[in-house]
């Protein structure tokens, strides 16, 4: 199984020329993993930017996510085929269920089974989940087996450390992908993070991304600015001390940014 890349490019909220420029800049700077979703409405632009980049498909890791409207057994595979057409590729490297959406009328077992079928058809190399709590992850494991679930992509930042869920996923051997790692930028003004950044002659964003990477998570920060895209990549070379890590661990405040009604589970 190809591993989940530790560092990727997020594209949430980026549309039109903005996402084309971000992906082009990212690929030029050396990013090779790109994270999108059906609901982002930017798969076609990402496909365009990738095609124009000249980067070979086998050097890229493309992730998309199935939107809740497409969870029914007869809709999931066709919706993924449409995503692939927009992305101008024959397969995704990773396809996730975007939200568990417990009230949307499609049983979890149904959409997990359909997702596994998409993998059997060769439409995606790996499958996974996003925004699942412990109980729903257990149900997903029961439906397709834990070895089939490559990752659970969850909101995770110094202000929302999700320790119970993370510990469960790590015990089950399911990789953790962190999104909103910078908490919409809120953690960048944190005095503790700022002091650590000064000590390392790093940026606050680099410190926070390095923190997540050192905990073993994959990260997918986004930016519209080329200099920030380049700067974020340098987080991979930053080593935080045990003391730095302990100081960041103490910032937990259950500061969740994203929890849409009807889509989100009961959080652990």
**Average pLDDT in the 33-44 region?**
98
pLDDT digits (tens, 9 = 90+) for 46-99: 999 999 999 999 999 999 999 999 999 999 999 999 999 999 999 999 999 999
The pLDDT value given to residue 103: 85
pTM given for the model: 0.97
At residue 127, the 3 state secondary structure works out as strand
pLDDT digits (tens, 9 = 90+) for 189-248: 999 999 999 999 999 999 999 999 999 999 999 999 999 999 999 999 999 999 999 999
The number of beta carbons lying within 10 Å of the beta carbon of residue 109 is 13
* From 40, 71, 179, 217, the catalytic residue: 40
Q: Is the pLDDT of residue 2 over 80?
A: no
Domains and CATH numbers, the chain: 9-185+216-227 (3.20.20.100)
Q: Is the pLDDT of residue 11 over 70?
A: yes
Q: What distance in Å separates the CA atoms of residue 94 and residue 5, rounded to the nearest whole number?
A: 11
Work out the pLDDT band at 1, boundaries 50, 70, 90: very low
* 125 membership: H or E segment, kind and range: strand 124-130
Does residue 91 carry a catalytic annotation?
no
The pLDDT value given to residue 229: 98
Work out the pLDDT band at 263, boundaries 50, 70, 90: very high
Known binding-site positions: 98
* Contact (CB, 8 A) for 14 and 46: no
**Average pLDDT in the 124-148 region?**
98
Report CA Rg, the chain: 18
Q: Is the pLDDT of residue 140 over 50?
A: yes
Q: What distance in Å separates the CA atoms of residue 144 and residue 171, rounded to the nearest whole number?
A: 17
Please provide the average confidence, as pLDDT, over all residues in the chain: 97
Query: Nearest-CA neighbor of 214 among 7, 13, 30?
Result: 7
The pLDDT value given to residue 16: 97
Known binding-site positions for substrate: 98
Work out the pLDDT band at 3, boundaries 50, 70, 90: confident
DSSP 30-72: T--EEE--GGGT-HHHHHHHHHHHT--GGG-EEEEEE-GGG-S
Q: What distance in Å separates the CA atoms of residue 48 and residue 149, rounded to the nearest whole number?
A: 29
């Amino acid at each position: 199984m190809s591993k989940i890349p530790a560092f990727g490019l997020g594209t949430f909220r980026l549309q039109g020329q903005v996402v084309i420029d971000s992906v082009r800049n990212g690929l030029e700077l050396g990013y090779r993993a790109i994270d999108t979703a059906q609901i982002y409405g930017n798969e076609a632009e990402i496909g365009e930017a990738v095609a124009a980049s000249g980067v070979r498909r086998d050097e890229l890791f493309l992730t998309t996510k199935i939107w809740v409207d497409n969870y029914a057994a007869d809709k999931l595979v066709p919706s993924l085929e449409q995503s692939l057409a927009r992305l101008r590729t024959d397969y995704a490297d990773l396809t996730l269920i975007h939200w568990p959406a417990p009230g949307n009328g499609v049983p979890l077992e149904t959409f997990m089974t359909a997702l596994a079928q998409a993998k059997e058809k060769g439409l995606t190399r790996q499958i996974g989940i996003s925004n699942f709590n412990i109980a729903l992850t257990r149900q997903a494991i029961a439906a397709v087996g834990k070895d089939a679930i490559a990752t659970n992509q969850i909101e995770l930042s110094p202000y929302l450390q999700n320790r119970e869920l993370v510990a469960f996923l790590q015990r089950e051997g399911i990789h953790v992908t962190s999104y909103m790692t910078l908490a919409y930028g809120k953690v960048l003004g944190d005095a503790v993070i700022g002091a650590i950044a000064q000590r390392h002659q790093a940026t606050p964003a680099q410190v926070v991304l390095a923190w997540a990477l050192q905990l073993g998570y994959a990260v997918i920060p986004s930016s519209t600015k080329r200099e920030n895209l380049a700067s974020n990549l340098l987080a991979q070379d930053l080593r935080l001390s045990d003391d730095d890590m302990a100081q960041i661990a103490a910032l937990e405040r259950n500061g969740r940014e994203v929890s849409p009604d009807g889509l989100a589970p009961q959080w652990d």
